[in-house]
Amino acid sequence: MKNLKICTKCIQPNTRPGIFFNEDSVCGACLWEKEKKKIDWSERIVELNKIAHNAKQENAMYDCVIGVSGGKDSTKQAITARDTLGLRCLLVNYQPEDITKIGMDNIENLKQLGFDVISIRPNPKIMKKLVKFDFFERLNPVKATEFSLYSSAYIIAEKFHIPLVIQGENPGLTVGTSLTGVGKDADALKAYKLQTLSNGWKEYLQVEGVSEKDLFLFHYDVSKLINQNAKGIWLQYFLQEWSYRGNAEFSSKFGFKGRDNFRPEDIGTYVSFGALDSDIVPVNQMLKFIKFGFGFCMDHVCYDLRDGLIDKKKAIELVLKYDGKCEERYIEEFCNYVEISRDEFDKTCEKFRGAMWIQENSEYRNQIHDLLKEIYDKE
């Protein structure tokens, strides 16, 4: 594959959509980690407290809306907003299809911590159509779920006239795609410009049996929020102590739980506390691996590399061992859910297999892994 590149700081490849590298082959996520060290975090805390103060002055029924799954990030958002900023919070939970037991337990834990919670679940029959459409059209069956995941908090803020929406992290900073429309500032009203969402919800109008009314929960009207003087923020922008593993450690003190006794090869990563509420996620990460040459484990080792928790050799060992793996039962469950055969599943995967794969007889070789092996030998 021509122009294949691996970040010289972490090991993230340039096959991630929207990623950028500087002239020294350093990815945007690592550049953000360097930039963080120059930020006056005390000044940002002052700014955050001012935003919270202004929200409270509106005397609305709630001071803020927070989209939550019950996971590590949303638990930290809710606790920080209520206990540190003194905000009266309304939590909005988008419930995924076939939510897992641990996902249910974590959202229930968040409720039991003492919050008002609205749960939103789009019509399951419509959602199945969209998931199936996204699988066949772009090999990304969770794309439709992300529209509702983000939009629900904004919709509730607009309808209830709540002055502040608090989102967690800006993926543009965390994975290095911040040159997309969402930018690097604190403004989370621009969430609709995120890499995954930027194609637009109206694409789903071409799906048979889906109308605009069916998609009410898949988009929000940013102009109405602006006219109401509502504000949206990425909490990550203001907090120095914000990291993938750090948020899990914080939230575990408030009852959040990760997977117990799991096999890394079943879910494609060694991390026990990520994306817990849906069993479609391991399948989607395997599909990402087929399409872009990297999956769940690559994301996680890059987080740990940037935080100085592992070295490159260990990171590469983990990626070569686990990335792209997915237990067969998750694939079978997905095929049953969207009502397709395993043969249809496999043929669709091959249709989207990325250019980083080289076929040798009946096997495929990943050129990203070839580069990683070269880096490993030099370390």
Domain range summary for the chain, segments of one domain joined by +: 41-237, 262-378
Q: What is the pLDDT of residue 176?
A: 75
Per the DSSP assignment, residues forming a β-bridge with 231 are 164
Name residues of the chain where pLDDT drops below 50.
none
* pTM above threshold 0.85: yes
Q: What is the pLDDT of residue 239?
A: 96
Q: Which CATH number fits domain 41-237: 3.30.390, 3.40.50, 3.30.310, 3.30.70?
A: 3.40.50
Q: What is the pLDDT of residue 288?
A: 98
